[in-house]
Amino acid sequence: MPSQPLYLQLAGHYRQAMEAGTLRPGDRMPALRVLSERHGVSLSTALQTCRHLESLGWLEARPRSGYFVQSSVRPRLEPVPEPRAVLPNPAQYVGIHERVSSVVVRGRLAPVRFNLGGAAASAPLYPCEALRAASVRALRREPALWGQSVPHTGHPAFCAAVAKHLLSSGIVTAPREVIVTHGGTEALALALRAVGRPGDVVAIESPAYYGLLQLLESLGLRALEIPTSGHTGLSLEALDLAAASYEGIRAVVFVPHLQNPLGATMPAERRRQLVQWCEAHDIVLIEDDTFGPLYDADTPLPAAKSFDTTGNVIHCASLHKVLAPGMRLGWVLPGRWRSRIEMLKFTQSRGNEVLSQLAAADFIGSGSFERHLQRLRARLRRHRDWMAAAIAAGFPQGTRLSQPRGGVHLWLELPPGTPSESVFDAALHEGIRVAPGLMFSNSRRFDHCLRINCGLPPTPELGQALRRLGRIVAEAR
């Protein structure tokens, strides 16, 4: 791309060198003077190059010594093992809601100093100032904004921005196909209400996002938990086995990137197979791509929706984790359930308010979104590496740790028999909130697990809190 500014070209060159291992963690970057002479650029361009690589998390500046390749800390903990391909069982509601609620309520009531139980990064990692400014501009441009009824399926400017954004996942869609929702939560709720009736069986990942378990329960749908790998996601083999054993699976819900809580990312080829398998079995595929843009690469992998030729895939996503936790902006591409989902959205909540849509559309359209995502991924990578190292240092032997390629979660298997609910309570008592494994399944298979938010910036206090948590785990056995 010859039209790129010089410093970006140069940064790309060095980034490749680091990716290829030519420059390794801890190596010293050539001095600015050397860079300037070697590449025939000015000193200030050389400096700009290093600063850019620093902002992306590739370099770190050491006082009086120059720039060094950031050392990515490798935890000494074992990775989370593959699941056994036990046959799942379609657990009708077995009380998950009360268990989850009691944990949520206890967590909300207690005074919390370190919230490691959440699902988004901390506020400073989001472009609050730019979104604030965009909101003020929108209010200036449309002074009667609060006086006018809202469009039913989304503001055209926002739908257009979403359609453009989806191109990076290989999804080609017209803006009018996008139905804007109150976050990914409402997107999922609409998709499930559209295709399922009370009593229907829905195959899901195991462990799965607890909000999905609650949603299924509240709709009277039965969750069939399918073994899921921490590396490649939902097991297609186990799914196939389940379909042979249980009649009438109505839908499959899966998270393609950085599955919550395991952190797994399903390879593109398996996504294609899953789309074809669902099509062949007349089972609806609901894709929940909440974390796609946090996947540690310049573009996400192609979405399952990008392989869909018949409208059998319903694609849901949200800006909650990637742009603004305070904006309740999600969307659904409804495939062949358009008129039903549109009707359900209308009867359930009407259209979304317009202001956040306008501010988000402005930001996404300006190109700032791509820059923001690059920085966010880089910062999350550093936070994640730091936290993995802190956990490796402070937790007892036998703890196993996920190695997600992006995102805001780490998944821990504690030594066998460690009750995560006691860990949760004891940690809460010290002002530390975590998400215990029991929240992520109707079974009790993950009761010895924890999900930990790694979207907080490293601080000495947080380091201490993690050491404290490690001791709590050691004592809980």
Ligand X SMILES: Cc1ncc(COP(=O)(O)O)c(C=O)c1O
Residues that bind a second copy (CB under 8 A): 97, 101, 108, 118, 120, 123-126, 128-129, 131-132, 135-136, 139, 143-150, 152, 181-183, 185-186, 189, 193, 198, 211, 214-215, 218, 324-328, 339, 343-344, 346-356, 359
Is 287 a binding residue for ligand X by CB under 6 A? The answer is no
CB of 217 to a second copy, least distance (A): 8
Is 48 a binding residue for ligand X by CB under 6 A? The answer is no
Is 119 a binding residue for ligand X by CB under 6 A? The answer is yes
Which partner from the list a second copy, ligand X, none does 288 bind, CB cut-off 5 to 8 Å by kind? ligand X
Q: Which is nearer to ligand X, 10 or 187 (CB)?
A: 187
Q: Which is nearer to a second copy, 129 or 282 (CB)?
A: 129
Beta strand pairing status for 201-206 and 222-229? parallel
Segment interacting with ligand X (CB under 6 A) among 55-63, 181-189, 372-380, 453-461: 181-189
- The CA distance from 286 to 255, in Å, is 9
Number of residues in contact with ligand X, rule: CB under 6 A?
14
Is 126 a binding residue for ligand X by CB under 6 A? The answer is no
Task: For residue 260, report the phi and psi dihedrals to the nearest 5 degrees.
Answer: -100, 115
CB of 476 to ligand X, least distance (A): 26
- The CA distance from 93 to 214, in Å, is 9
Q: Which of residues 218-237 bind ligand X (CB under 6 A)?
A: none
Segment interacting with ligand X (CB under 6 A) among 152-160, 163-171, 180-188, 418-426: 180-188
Q: Which is nearer to a second copy, 120 or 426 (CB)?
A: 120
CB atoms within 10 A of CB 87: 11
Which partner from the list a second copy, ligand X, none does 209 bind, CB cut-off 5 to 8 Å by kind? ligand X
Return the residue matching tokens 């559209």: 194
Q: Which is nearer to ligand X, 185 or 402 (CB)?
A: 185
Which partner from the list ligand X, a second copy, none does 290 bind, CB cut-off 5 to 8 Å by kind? ligand X
CB of 252 to ligand X, least distance (A): 14
Q: Which of residues 244-283 bind ligand X (CB under 6 A)?
A: 255, 260
CB of 321 to a second copy, least distance (A): 10
Which partner from the list ligand X, a second copy, none does 123 bind, CB cut-off 5 to 8 Å by kind? a second copy
Return the residue matching tokens 């410093």: 7
Collect all residues with Cβ–Cβ distance below 8 Å to 119 and sequence separation of at least 6.
260, 321, 408, 409, 453
Is 189 a binding residue for ligand X by CB under 6 A? The answer is no
Which partner from the list ligand X, a second copy, none does 318 bind, CB cut-off 5 to 8 Å by kind? ligand X
Which partner from the list ligand X, a second copy, none does 49 bind, CB cut-off 5 to 8 Å by kind? none
Query: Among 30, 88, 154, 183, which residue sits at the site for ligand X (rule: CB under 6 A)?
Result: 183
Query: Among 36, 45, 153, 185, which residue sits at the site for ligand X (rule: CB under 6 A)?
Result: 185
Query: Among 155, 257, 320, 338, which residue sits at the site for ligand X (rule: CB under 6 A)?
Result: 320
Collect all residues with Cβ–Cβ distance below 8 Å to 141 and sequence separation of at least 6.
358
CB of 343 to ligand X, least distance (A): 15
Among residues 362, 393, 356, the alpha carbon closest in space to that of 467 is found at 393
Nearest 10 degrees: CA dihedral of 181, 439, 379, 110? 100
> In the stretch 8-37, what mask flags binding to ligand X with x, by CB under 6 A?
------------------------------
Query: Among 49, 70, 290, 399, which residue sits at the site for ligand X (rule: CB under 6 A)?
Result: 290
Q: Residue numbers of the site for ligand X (CB under 6 A)?
A: 119, 183-185, 209, 211, 255, 260, 288, 290, 318, 320, 330, 350
